[in-house]
Structure 1
Amino acid sequence: MSTATSGPLAPSVRRGYALGSVATGTFGTVPGLLLLPYLTDTLGIAAGIAGAMVFLPKAWDVVLNPVAGRISDRSTNPRGRRRPFLLRAGILLAITFALIFAGPEEPPGLAGAWVVIMFVACASAYAFFQVPYVAMPAEMTLDYDERTRLMTWRVIVLALAILLSGATAPLVVDVVGDATSEANGYRVMGVYIGVVLLIGVLGAYRGTRRAPDHGVATAGGTMRDQLRLVAHAPDFRNLLITFVLQALGVGAMLAGVAYVSDNLLDGGGAATFLFVAFVGPALVVTPLWERLAVRRGKRFGYTVASGFLVAGMLGMLVTMSGAPGLAYAAAAVVGVGYAGAQVFPMAMIPDVAADHAARTGENRIGVFTGVWTAGETLGLAIGPGLYAAVIALGGYVSSRGDTDVAQPDSALTAIALGVSAVPAIIVAVSLLWLRRYTLDDRRDALGEPVPNLQEPTP
């Protein structure tokens, strides 16, 4: 089978596509950062129950994401197979996110029910935005290395979005909360983040209007048939397990930032500084990860980046000493690894999907990315739930509104372990599956790029 190629994408298309990461980065960050403390420390819901409430809407997304991929695969909209989903679902995403924090404060049962219902609606809208968005690179370009360049732009914008949302959302809560009430702080933050989401949605929709479309025929068969074929793609399976486990670890770490800031680093904007330390390095090192991918391959780069993640997470044990400077340094090491751990898998999943399409002549890219996004969602959902379980086992005491509660020493230890040793072990275990990824090996053995998405040869 011949390997098709295509020219570089226009810079405006790369930038336009990358703007979608304003939405994905923001939604992937803020709920994991603030929703659990909102439930435990503002609404007074017990940590174990709050963890389940954060997890259940995300679990629904695991079911919905492959369906969203299947639906976008079959789209025949004249504005593009995927683009209309970005606009429609993206607008709903922005609205429902603001509504999550706009509900009643009491009684706790009613307040919690509101959060769960709105979070389910928000997660559903996100599925129909994220899945088509992730599917687009495999159809926008046929070139193995161009996908890495495209993902480099995306990760730079992703880092900026995480930095903006992760650093400023807690500040909005604190500033407005100090002036009025903590609940009002969350309400204003919800509206603010909704506007940020909308900017990313509209930017991606408009920015990709001239993007090429190299799609092939939509695959036939039932959803079960397609999921079975995807599940039997070994490179996809190994890459997915690696990424899900790492998303789980990162999700647990993000969920603990507010707790570390308030209980171990004495607050005072520590959550914002941790986020700056975590995300800032990505703006510098992401282009370096791209160069490493070109020289040594994507799997090698992904492995090195994962090593930085493990080292930095273990370094977060210094939070037990209450030394902010050392904690920020450890977070920066995590940030170096996180940048690579986003660039490489994001560039590898289009390779896997496109390789499958080239070999079969049928387009299952939406199903691939639907399963991929479901896995990422599952990992990011289990992460906060895992962190909630860790601090619950440590005896963490929940509170309501602006009430301060002294935590037992066991809870303080659990807060530190939940952002350090626990996620580090999970990320280290994920490398067992990354070793089994073979697509880069086949590329090296052939001395040419892997098969790319193309029209099937007659």
Structure 2
Amino acid sequence: MSPRSDDFLPRRVHVGYALGSLTTGAFGTVPGLLLLPYLTDTLGVAAGLAGLLVLLPKAWDVLINPLAGRLSDRTRTRWGARRPYLLVAGLGVALLFAAIFAAPFDTGSAGGTENAENAGGGAGSTAYVAVAFLATATAYAFFQVPYVAMPAELTADRAERTRLLTWRVAVLALAILVSGALAPLVVTAGGGGIPGHRWMGGFVGVLIAAGAVGAFLGTAGAPAGRVRESEASLRAQVRTAIANRAFTRLLIVFVVQAVGIATVLAGVNYFAAQVLRRPDDGPTLLFAAFVGPALLVMPLWRRVGARAGKARAFTIASLLFAAGALALVAAPVLPPVAVYLIVAVMGAGYAGEQVFAMALLPDRIADDEARTGKRQAGVFTGLWTAGETFGLALGPGVFALVLALFGYVSSDTGQAAAQSGTARLGVLLGFTVLPALLVALPLPLIRAGSTRTPASAPARP
């Protein structure tokens, strides 16, 4: 059966929905990129403890995300079930994110620095960061879960969902490029240390707010999906989602890969400073090399998906990322241009991973709704985003553990301390071999639990 005309979405909705990725991209990137170095090299927190401070607030989302999904499933407003959360929670994320790096406590003069404002703030500032990050992660759960649930309700056509998600991933890549590449530059331009991080928090907060408002306005008048009966309890909904084996396998693969991606994000600053010896411009160049190609290969991945099917294309993209990460082990003896080219290969693989993971999710949701007749997209996406958030939080924690095991020395001066050869080896392995293994090893699950689903296949009758 051919898809109905009302299954196709106007370009305004494609763009409007995609703008929400400014919010998800910025919040998914910058804490993983800068929060761990901020704790270890500005506040003087030991690497192991810093990893826990990054992990625990986002791990909280594993509990709160399914609740956010259930609440959005049951929400009834004139704006629809999901859109109010985009605006209110999104603006909350923007304000709270800026607060994470505000460091309102007296920073003292730890470490003997001449500029007291650039010194660490001790236990008070550390506890403040943990609480502010927890609040931000909570608000983000109520933005992300409804946002991810929307594609399954905006259109019933699988190919149209892929087009919608391709737009979203393109904006996501742009958001990662802008936030990840510019945030370190804003820190430097703002004077480094705590003052620079305050400027960076404000800059990223504005980017997050723009995404939330853009998604809310851009999806006005878009189809909201037919309201169906939902499971009576959260426990029943979670049990139903876990019982869907195809969804569960996809979720496990996505979460493990998210840990791998997050170790790369967490290691950018350390890799640039300790391996490439370019602490000033290295992070920005690495991000440009990683994300820039992603914007160019989106049409190519869509064609690969149409020919090979989404699951197989997902596997190809993942292996491309893993191969690039393993090749990067040779970075200490490679010229910089070769390093950036290898990172570009990793970025191309990452783009495909994101496109096909996000395109497979609404297919699983739609299959479940067709089978059960119940509306529980929010529960599926609640579990999905809880897993993604946990994976993205666990990555910096794992990388911090590697740093601690290899003897990385923290600093409260706003500059990284001199490191031993063993510590630099830990940085290299945590940035290359570890993410390669995490991305490649779970792939048999996606192949075992998926059938060939071409990106261009019409919707089922």
TM over 0.5: yes
Structure 2 distance, partners of 1:24, 1:4, is 30
Task: Say whether residues 1:288 and 2:300 are aligned partners.
Answer: yes
- Which residue does the alignment assign to 1:10? 10
After TM superposition, the structure 1 = structure 2 runs for residues 318-397 of structure 1, keeping only pairs within 5 Å, are 318-321=330-333, 323-397=335-409
Selected match of 1:134 from 140, 143, 148 = 148
State the secondary structure of the residue aligned to 2:357: helix
In 2 relative to 1, CA 216–296 (structure 1 residues): closer, same or farther, beyond 3 Å?
farther
CA positional deviation for 1:8: 1.5
Matched with 2:273 is: 262
- Residue equivalent to 2:253: 242
The one-letter code of the counterpart of 1:249 is G
Match of residue 39 from structure 2? 39
Whether 1:112 aligns to 2:126 is yes
1:9-158 alignment runs, 5 A limit: 9-103=9-103, 104=105, 105=107, 107-158=121-172
SS at match of 2:409: coil
C-alpha distance after superposition, 1:76-135 (max 9, x if no partner): 011111000000000100000000000233542111110010000100110000000000
CA RMSD of aligned residues (A): 1.7
Name the CA distance, whole Å, in 2 between partners of 1:287 and 1:95. 35
With the length of structure 2 as denominator, give the TM-score of the two structures: 0.93
Q: For 2:76 and 2:451, how far apart are their aligned partners in 1?
A: 31
Output the CA distance in 1 between the equivalents of 2:415 and 2:358.
Answer: 42
Q: Deviations over 1:413-451 (max 9, x none)?
A: 00000010011011111202111222436x89xx96564
Please name the residue that 2:263 is paired with: 252
CA shift at 1:156, angstroms? Answer: 0.7
Q: Is the 8 A contact 1:354 1:451 kept in 2?
A: no
Give runs of aligned pairs for residues 157-172 of structure 1, distance below 5 A.
157-172=171-186
Structure 1 404/155 Cα, relative in aligned 2: closer, same or farther at 3 Å? closer
Deviations 1:214-250 (A, max 9, x none): 2331313210011001001011001001111110000
Contact 2:259 2:393 in 1 (8 A): yes
What residue number does 1:456 align with?
Answer: none
Name the structure 1 match of 2:287: 275
Match of 2:114? Answer: none
The residue type equivalent to 2:142 in the other structure is F
Q: Equivalent residue for 1:455?
A: none
Whole-Å separation in 1 of the counterparts to 2:218 and 2:426: 45
User: Partner of 2:441: helix, strand, or coil?
Assistant: helix
One-letter identity of the residue aligned with 2:175: A
Q: Which runs of 5+ in 2 are unaligned?
A: 108-119
Partner AA of 2:18 in structure 1 = A
CA deviation map 1:342-390 (0-9, x unaligned): 0001111001011101111101100000000001011101100000011
Q: Check the 8 A contact 1:226/1:367 in 2, yes or no.
A: yes
1:414 counterpart (426, 430, 433): 426
Q: Distance in 1 between matches of 2:204 and 2:234?
A: 35
The residue type paired with residue 170 of structure 1 is: P
**2:325 aligned to which of 297, 310, 313:** 313
Deviations 1:396-427 (A, max 9, x none): 00001235521011000000000100110111
- Whole-angstrom CA distance in 2 between matches of 1:207 and 1:197: 15
- Please say if residues 69 and 370 of structure 1, whose CA atoms lie closer than 8 Å, have aligned partners that are also in contact: yes
**2:413 corresponds to:** 401
Q: Per the alignment, do residues 331 and 210 of structure 1 end up closer, same or farther by CA in structure 2, a change over 3 Å counting?
A: same
**Are the equivalent residues in 2 in contact too, given 1:315–1:327 (CA < 8 A)?**
no
Instruction: Please identify, of 265-274 and 340-349, the stretch whose mean Cα deviation from structure 2 is larger.
Output: 265-274
- Identity, % of aligned pairs? 51
C-alpha separation in 2, matches of 1:46 and 1:163 = 29
| Alignment partner, residue 200 of structure 2 | 189
Letter in 2 for 1:290: R
What is the CA-CA distance between 1:264 and the residue it aligns to? 1.7
Please tell me whether residue 430 in structure 1 is matched to residue 442 in structure 2. Answer: yes
Q: Following superposition of structure 1 onto structure 2, how do residues 150-229 of structure 1 map, counting pairs within 5 Å?
A: 150-177=164-191, 181-229=192-240
Aligned counterparts of 1:404 and 1:18: Cα–Cα separation in 2: 37
Separation in structure 1 between the aligned mates of residue 132 and residue 452 of structure 2, nearest angstrom = 42
TM-aligned CA deviation for residue 316 of structure 1: 2.0
TM-score (norm 1): 0.94
Give the Cα–Cα distance (whole angstroms) in 2 for the partners of residues 391 and 327 of structure 1. Answer: 22
Instruction: Give, in whole Å, the separation in 2 of the partners of 1:157 and 1:257.
Output: 21
- 1:319 shift after superposition: 2.8
Across the two proteins, how many residue pairs are aligned to each other?
A: 445
The superposition leaves residues 189-218 of structure 1 with CA deviations (integer Å, 9 ceiling, x where unpaired) of 001100011111110000000211223313
3-state DSSP of counterpart to 1:256:
helix
Runs of 4+ deviating beyond 4 Å:
2-6, 447-452
Contact 2:365 2:380 in 1 (8 A): yes
Contact 2:242 2:248 in 1 (8 A): yes
| Structure 1 residue 312: Cα displacement | 1.2
What CA distance in whole angstroms lies between the structure 2 residues aligned with 1:4 and 1:332? 37
Supply the distance in 1 between the matched residues of 2:354 and 2:442 (Cα, whole angstroms). Answer: 14
SS in 2 for 1:354: helix
In the alignment, is the contact (CA less than 8 A) between 1:299 and 1:437 conserved in 2? no
Q: Aligned-pair distance for 1:295?
A: 2.0
